[in-house]
Amino acid sequence: MQQQQIAVSGLGGQGVLFVTKLLAEAALRKDLSVLVSETHGMAQRGGHVIGHLKVFTYDAHTAPCTTDALISSPLTSPLIRPGCADVLLALHQESLETHGYLLRPDGQVFCHRSPPKAPGDIDAVGLAKKLGNAVAANMVLLGYAVAQGALFCSIEDLTAVLAQTAGTRAALSLKALEAGAQAASEARMD
Amino acid sequence: MVERKILLGNEAIAHGLLEAGCSMATSYPGTPASEIMATLIQLKKHHGVPCHLEWSVNEKVAVETALANSYAGRRSAAAMKQVGLNVAADPVMSAAYTGVKGGFLLIVADDPGPHSSQTEQDTRQFAMFAKLPVLDPALPSQAREWIASAYTLSEHYEIPVILRPTTRVCHARQDMAVRAFCTDVVQPVFEKDPGRWAATPKFRYRLHQQLNEKLEKISRDALWQPRLLNADALREATEPQAIKPFDKVLVTSGAVCAHAVEILRALNLWDRVPIYQVPMPYPLSEDFCSELLEAASEILVLEETQPVIEGQIRDRKKVRGRWSGHVPKEGELLPEIVENILRRFLNLSPAAPSPPPAPGRRPTLCAGCGHRAAFFAIRKVFPKGIYASDIGCYTLGLNLGAVDTVLCMGASISQAAGFYHAYRDAGQESRHVVATIGDSTFYHAGVPALINAVTQGCRFPVIILDNGTTAMTGHQPTPAAGVTADGTKVPAVSLEALAKACGVNHVSVGDPYDVTGFMELLQAAKAHCQDSENGGMAVVIARRPCLMEHSRHEGRKPRPQQPIVTEKCEGCGFCLKFFECPALIFHGENQAVTIDDNLCAGCGVCVEVCPHKAIVKPSADA
């Protein structure tokens, strides 16, 4: 059974919720089920924001009566328990201190850090600025993680969702996603 | 193949309402409930369903309006957050007695934690107080599924029903099947029955009796009985009783149920520990309680936030929960907390302790927010004042030392009045009291408080922080907008005219970005309050549209050029301490401040804030 728990962490305004949503839509396209939980309200005013995402195989078609999801679904809580996240996407290095406890001991971290220091680091803001807008740093980080094969989906899955949902900013998001993927392949060559 | 969509809990609730033929929904915004109405508005726009929708001026008005639709035999809903229910308490208590005709759903979103609320109050307890049935869904999909049956329950017993999702249901997302909306319009039929709809106290006594009879029946309603989720866990119990004898059992409701189910599976205990979900925590079936007490040796109740189910299982010897000290008495029951409670209850070794999360950043007003400039000016003009404030984005003015009290919607003005009377009566008239309140909050509950302050002879300034929207909860329109939820043009209610009509003679409007000009307005208001001949209350409206709202509608415009920090800056820290703009970066004493060009909105207020004139406007030709 395929199952992955992903935590996306950053500061208010960095696009944590957008990354989480994009991944959730990608899961739906792959016929996986999803549970998502996100921070709302006060925390978004510059404070830490966390998105919890769980994707899993669950035959929702044969069990359309969702009341029974509680009984038949392999995952039911929208929150990731400490030490249970398979992947942590950190849009700010402070996010590691704040939400690192969610990661399981052998889980993978991808973090924006300028300049990069540890494996999994990428200067996402720097790359996004080169593309014309620092706001796209979230997509750079996502592209970086996806291209390293750390997530349940592929870059093509994400591009397909972006093409449908991102509206006017789709072009920049796509470029940023690809820039992240490119950085990943360069990192592999090093 | 069934088409599926990922829906936020609140979106799922909106879908459920339209699928069940709701013909009127009302709401006042408040986290975590706001997206219910927002989604209804979107769905109506795209699907043209015949349903009246409104952002009401407050929760009491929302309930009274939707209730009348229900009196006329049509399905209705009023949505709010838990503290909003306090505002609506008056009509809700009474509606329990009168009952309803068309189904009436009161959707009250609770906030265990509390993530963005003044209290952790438990609406299930309120339901018990009001004598109304309350439903406690565990998942977004469940909240949606239950709505149609909740309407049936409401109509069958002619009683308002409370649906109580919590933050983890409202703001969780889940994939679910897409379904069609009900477009059958029920024609309104109001049957006059003064003994019921306009009951005098004598009739009310009879209505109370009827209400108690309804509750007795509802507690036995087959559809809403507690249900055993893992039948296999009782496989080995063979006695042919309704509930078979077993050792330890879990009784859960709401989002905690979803956490507990997942944890039982993770610990490989799904087939060994019976777990019940209680869909309707009040009124809880007496039969269930007594059979459970008979059959189980120990019962652990997991619920948020108060011991509602635990309290109804009256024999205390076998029950473990908040009262017995097995469950913390406050706070959200996060999965990690639930896991450790379960482990202790089942005599398992505790989970490996996880390091406590690092302290978070404190939330702050956005860079370029007009409120920050207004607070700065207020502190300059009324130094050492008592700053009574209110609920909204501007509550974050407490970082700036410009907010001393926050109680509930509208209380800034009544509390400022209280401080005013206290100091005046003690002969200390010179102590400045200033009330700050947002535009939406002023319409919601500030107006009666202002009328009261005027008619009680108070003299203090009320600063209405008018950003033209209900910003904190997602930019819902205020009565000044002149449009309804779906964009229809309606008369606008002017803040200035309203303040004047409340009896305030001194009303002025200014832009807080113009710090000097705005401080002059505050000085004039101060003089009016102190004028012993003709003075009285003063209202100053600080008008500056919310930046986020503006960019939503107009798109991101090129920003004005950001100010420049000159070599005069010695890093005194004044701008950080008293202005706290997130775009200003402090590098330590004696080091010049820098400006984050990603965050700076170019408002230029910091130029006027700096006491050393070290920040300057960019030259025109730069």
Identify all chain B residues contacting A65, using CB atoms and an 8 Å cutoff: 145
Output the six-digit token pair for B245: 């004898």
CATH number given to A3-187: 3.40.920.10
Q: Which of residues 144-183 of A touch B (CB under 8 A)?
A: none
Same domain, B336 and B385: no
> Inter-chain contact B339–A25, Cβ cutoff 8 Å?
no
Residues B22 and B67 reside in one and the same domain = yes
Preferred mutation among A33, A66, A112, A169 to probe B, highest tally of B CBs within 10 A: A66
List the single range of A143-157, B184-198, B367-381 with lowest mean pLDDT: B184-198
**Judgement on whether residues B102 and B186 belong to the same structural domain of the protein:** yes
A96 in reach of chain B (CB within 8 A): no
The domain limits of chain A are 3-187
Sheet holding B76-81, edge to edge: B52-55, B24-27, B76-81, B104-109, B161-163, B134-135
Contacts of A88 in chain B (CB under 8 A): none
B517 inside domain: yes
Tell me, yes or no, whether B381 and B477 share the same domain.
Answer: yes
How many angstroms away from the CA of B162 is the closest CA of chain A?
19
In a domain, B360, yes or no: no
Kindly report the nearest CA distance between residue A113 and chain B, in angstroms: 17
Q: Kindly tell me if the per-residue pLDDT of B597 is higher than 70.
A: yes
- Condensed to tens digits (0 to 9), the pLDDT of residues B345-361 reads 999 998 877 766 666 67
Work out the burial of residue B207: count CB atoms within 10 Å of its CB; fewer than 13 is exposed, 13-18 middle, 19 or more buried. Answer: middle
The 10s digit of each residue's pLDDT in B378-396 is 999 999 999 999 999 999 8
What average pLDDT does the segment B578-591 reach? 89
Contact criterion met (CB < 8 Å) for B365 and A45: yes
On whether both B294 and B436 belong to a single domain, the answer is no
The partner residues of B300 in beta bridges, in order of sequence, read B250, B320
CB contact under 8 A, A48 and B168: no
Q: In whole angstroms, how far apart are CA B254 and each of A70, B31, B122? A: 11, 18, 12
- What's the pLDDT score for residue A14? 79
Considering only CB atoms, which chain B residues are within 8 Å of A60? 4, 175-177
The total number of structural domains in chain B stands at 4
| pLDDT for residue B362 | 75
The string of pLDDT tens digits covering residues B301-320 is: 999 999 999 999 988 899 99
Name chain B contacts of A50, Cβ cutoff 8 Å: none
User: What is the distance in angstroms between the Cα of A36 and the nearest Cα belonging to chain B?
Assistant: 5
Give a yes or no: residue B356 inside a domain. Answer: no
Query: Does B568 lie in the same domain as B491?
Result: no
Q: Cβ distance B59 to B28 under 8 Å?
A: yes
Give yes or no for residue B245 having a pLDDT over 80.
no
Q: What is the pLDDT of residues A40-56, one digit of tens each?
A: 655 556 678 899 999 99
Residues B410 and B533 in one domain: yes
ipTM summary value: 0.90
Are A141 and A124 within 8 A, CB to CB?
Answer: yes
Tell me: do B444 and B530 sit in the same domain: yes
Taking a contact as any Cβ pair under 8 Å apart, which residues of chain A between 76 and 95 contact chain B? 76-83, 94
The answer, for A103 touching chain B at a CB cutoff of 8 Å, is no
In tens, the pLDDT along B29-60 reads 999 999 999 999 999 999 999 899 999 999 99
Is there a domain that residue B378 lies in? yes
Give the C-alpha separation, A105 to A119, whole Å.
Answer: 15
**B259 with A69: Cβ contact below 8 A:** no
Same domain, B323 and B375: no
**Higher-confidence position of B553 and B469:** B469
Q: Is the pLDDT of residue B239 over 50?
A: yes
Residue A64: predicted pLDDT = 45
Q: Do residues B513 and B593 share a domain?
A: no
For residue B355, give the DSSP letter.
P
* Sequence-separated (6 or more) residues with CB below 8 Å from residue B490: B482, B483, B484
Give me the residues paired with residue B279 across strands.
none
Pair (B133, B250) in one structural domain: no
Residue B355 belongs to a domain: no
Do B141 and A69 lie within an 8 Å CB cutoff? yes
Domain that residue B232 falls in: 227-346
Instruction: Identify which of A34, A65, A77 has the shortest CB distance to residue B259.
Output: A77
Spell out, as residue ranges, where chain A has pLDDT lower than 50. Answer: 1, 63-66
Which among B554, B569, B599 is the end of a domain? B554
B393 annotated ligand-binding residue: no
Which of B528, B554, B580 finishes a domain? B554
The answer to whether the Cβ–Cβ distance between B145 and A77 falls below 8 Å is: no
Residue B205 lies in a domain: yes
Task: Tell me how close the Cα of A190 comes to any Cα of chain B, in angstroms.
Answer: 31
B277/B401 same-domain check: no
The size of the A-B interface in CB pairs under 8 A is 155
**Is B173–A37 a contact, with Cβ atoms under 8 angstroms apart?**
yes
Q: What pTM value is reported for the model?
A: 0.89
CB contact under 8 A, B396 and A45: yes
Best interface-test mutation with A: which of B1, B31, B139, B268 has the largest number of A CBs within 10 A?
A: B139
Q: Is B289 annotated as a binding residue?
A: no
> B541 has which bridge partners?
B464, B509
Question: Is B365 part of a structural domain of the chain?
Answer: no
Q: Is residue B465 part of a domain?
A: yes
CATH code (residue B578): 3.30.70.20
CATH code of the domain covering residue B167? 3.40.50.970
- Sign of the CA dihedral with B406 first, then B409, B413, and B414 last: negative
∠ Cα B352 B357 B361 (to 5°): 175
Per-residue pLDDT at B293 exceeds 90: yes
